Amino acid sequence: MYMGLYIVAILGIIILIQTIVVLKLIEKDKQKSYAYEYRIDQFRKSHKDSLLQVSQLEKKQNSLKLSIANLTNALKLKPLDEGKRHVNICEIKDGQKIVVIIDEVFRYRVEYYQQMVGDIKNQETFINYREFECMAFIDGKLYDPLIVNPIQTGDTFAELEDINCGQFIGRGMGSVVLESLVSVLKQIGIQKLEAGLSVVDYPRKDKLYKFYIEYNGFELVKELTENHWGRVVKKW
């Protein structure tokens, strides 16, 4: 019982620290946005021929506004009832801060629930498998960019079932999401991430290879053909 209360208290402190960090980032970006707005106004008044400078400043200001929206929306996300929330705030190519959230949900063996009334000191020893839900706030909206298969206790690898960042091609979104996932997997002792390449995607095979192998450090272990799935692996 006391161990359970201790864990809840620790999680509460972690959430509080994360909230404070995000609020500071929001305030910092707001100040930058106000500064850009002032500079844009000054350019318009005194440099009528400086349309390029105004355009560049407007793009930066828009990225800041979207960053603020992403951070604010992430704070509003409903807390996890059970499990662990991993939060990664990073910047993509257009200067926008996006928030990648990976919720790690523990599924326990039946013995855990049978002993819930007692004092469970080694909670992790009762974990049967882990489920993951990945979310990302970008452009002020919430997206589900990838799906990871559940990981059984004792496994040293994870399998990426699907990744869908097609609408963000060229902005660095897919790589950021993968980096966030790999960071979480390393924390729980996973040593490699595998991904299947569907025959449906054969027409864009070259783009898939570039994304996984060239940009994100995967190794091709099985060639993708018109009739057979391919496979890539990232080890660390």
Selection from 43-52, 63-72, 105-114, 161-170 with the highest mean pLDDT:
63-72
**Residue 207 located in a structural domain:** no
Whole domain around residue 127: which residue ranges? 2-190
211 in any annotated domain: no
In the chain, the number of structural domains is 1
pTM, to two decimals: 0.76
Compute φ and ψ for 107, nearest 5 degrees: -115, 115
Does 209 reside within a domain? no
In a domain, 230, yes or no: no
Q: Is 118 within a domain?
A: yes
Report CA torsion sign: 20, 24, 26, 27. Answer: positive
Question: Does residue 98 sit within a domain?
Answer: yes
Pair of tokens at residue 63: 């990225």
pLDDT tens per residue across span 10-66: 545 556 666 777 777 878 887 877 776 766 666 666 665 566 677 787 888 899 999
Examine residue 79 and state whether it is found in any structural domain, yes or no: yes
pLDDT tens for residues 114-136?
565 455 556 666 678 899 999 99
* 220 domain-assigned: no
Sequence-distant (≥ 6) Cβ neighbours of residue 133 within 8 angstroms: 102, 103, 105, 144
